[in-house]
């Protein structure tokens, strides 16, 4: 298993109260799998993704990537090299073009500008964006096009784990379907593990497994139901 949740819990503590946002979650995610997480607003879905992304450490239990607990890792490296998070509000650098957004993580690995751009162009082409869009800035692209750039960037980083928090939330149905197809294709063809938070049942149905969050409890959705 690429990723394992072992009795993972998370409690937010503020000055006045504590919120048990995640309670005792246990699950495993295989390489090449597409997983959907559904559940009401406030049920703990984003909290779970933040723990998997290494943005915070569990207050109980362990998140393990390749059998190593995030607690024991260099989290900066994990976040940079191992996981990519795609949000509903497109997290591209606004002052970089589409091509530069995808080239950026490649340059971080030490690749020179020209080969980084060449490789970035390949990744952008692979998500179906026409070449005349490569030089546009994010605010000159449609929502669906921006999500494709975000996916191309995930490909460029080479991360084997993509976490998508409502990636289709700002998109119309047809565009959302294209983005999900792309993620599903990535999972299947490149053995990337995709964990997708969605409110959309049709999208969730495309997943290999569906989990439901209810008041901080993660449940495997029975396929028979
Ligand atoms: N920084 C924080 N401090 C305190 N409580 C928080 C914090 N972030 C989230 N929570 C609480 O934790 C619970 C889970 O929140 P979370 O954002 O994980 O829900 P969600 O399932 O992603 O909801 P949505 O579908 O609206 O995005 C909620 O009760 C929320 O109010
Ligand atoms: Mg959320």
Residue 136 in this model has a pLDDT that exceeds 80: yes
Quickly list H helices, 78-218.
Answer: 98-108, 113-126, 143-157, 173-190, 201-204
CB distance 43 to ligand 1 below 6 Å: yes
CB distance 19 to ligand 1 below 6 Å: yes
Probe residue for ligand 1, chosen from 21, 37, 58 as the CB with the greatest number of ligand atoms within 8 Å: 21
Residue 225 in this model has a pLDDT that exceeds 70: no
Q: Please name the residue whose Cα sits nearest to atom 30 of ligand 1.
A: 42
When pLDDT is averaged across residues 68-87 and rounded to a whole number, the result is 94
CB distance 76 to ligand 1 below 6 Å: no
pLDDT at 90: 65
Question: How far is 138 from 106, CA to CA, in rounded Å?
Answer: 19
Model confidence pTM above 0.85? yes
Number of Cα atoms under 13 Å in the Cβ half of residue 224 = 0
- Please state, as a whole number, how many other Cβ atoms lie within 10 Å of the Cβ of residue 139: 9
Rg of the Cα atoms in the chain: 17
Residue boundaries of the structural domains of the chain? 3-220
Ligand 1 centroid to Cα of residue 25, in Å, is: 16
Q: Which residues contact 121 (CB under 8 A, 6 or more apart)?
A: 99, 131, 134
Topology classification of domain 3-220: Rossmann fold (3.40.50)
Among 13-17, 27-31, 48-52, 174-178, the minimum mean pLDDT is found in 174-178
| Higher per-residue confidence, 158 vs 44 | 44
Question: How far is 62 from 166, CA to CA, in rounded Å?
Answer: 24
Ligand 2 centroid to Cα of residue 46, in Å, is: 4
CB distance 46 to ligand 1 below 6 Å: yes
Ligand 2 centroid to Cα of residue 113, in Å, is: 36
Q: Please name the residue whose Cα sits nearest to atom 29 of ligand 1.
A: 42
**How much of the chain exceeds pLDDT 70, in percent?**
98
Q: Which residues contact 210 (CB under 8 A, 6 or more apart)?
A: 35, 36, 37, 38, 204, 220, 221, 223
Ligand 1 centroid to Cα of residue 142, in Å, is: 28
């Amino acid at each position: 298993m690429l990723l394992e949740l072992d009795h993972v819990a998370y409690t937010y503590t503020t000055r006045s109260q504590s919120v048990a946002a995640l309670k005792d979650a246990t699950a495993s995610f295989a390489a090449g799998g597409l997983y959907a997480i559904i559940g009401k607003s406030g049920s703990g879905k984003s909290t779970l993704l933040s723990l998997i992304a290494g943005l915070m450490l569990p207050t109980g239990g362990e998140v393990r990537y390749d059998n190593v607990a995030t607690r024991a890792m260099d989290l900066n490296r994990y976040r940079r090299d191992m996981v990519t998070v795609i949000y509903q509000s497109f997290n591209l650098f606004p002052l970089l073009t589409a091509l530069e957004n995808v080239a950026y993580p490649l340059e971080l690995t030490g690749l020179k500008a020209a080969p980084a751009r060449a490789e970035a162009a390949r990744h952008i082409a692979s998500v179906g964006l026409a070449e005349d869009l490569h030089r546009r800035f994010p605010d000159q692209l449609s929502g669906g096009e921006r999500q494709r750039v975000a996916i191309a960037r995930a490909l460029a980083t080479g991360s084997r784990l993509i976490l998508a928090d409502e990636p289709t939330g700002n998109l119309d149905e047809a565009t959302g379907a294209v983005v999900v197809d792309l993620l599903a294709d990535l999972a299947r063809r490149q053995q990337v593990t995709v964990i997708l938070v969605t409110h959309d049942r049709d999208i969730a149905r495309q997943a290999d497994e569906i989990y439901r969050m209810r008041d901080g409890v993660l449940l495997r959705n029975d396929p028979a139901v």
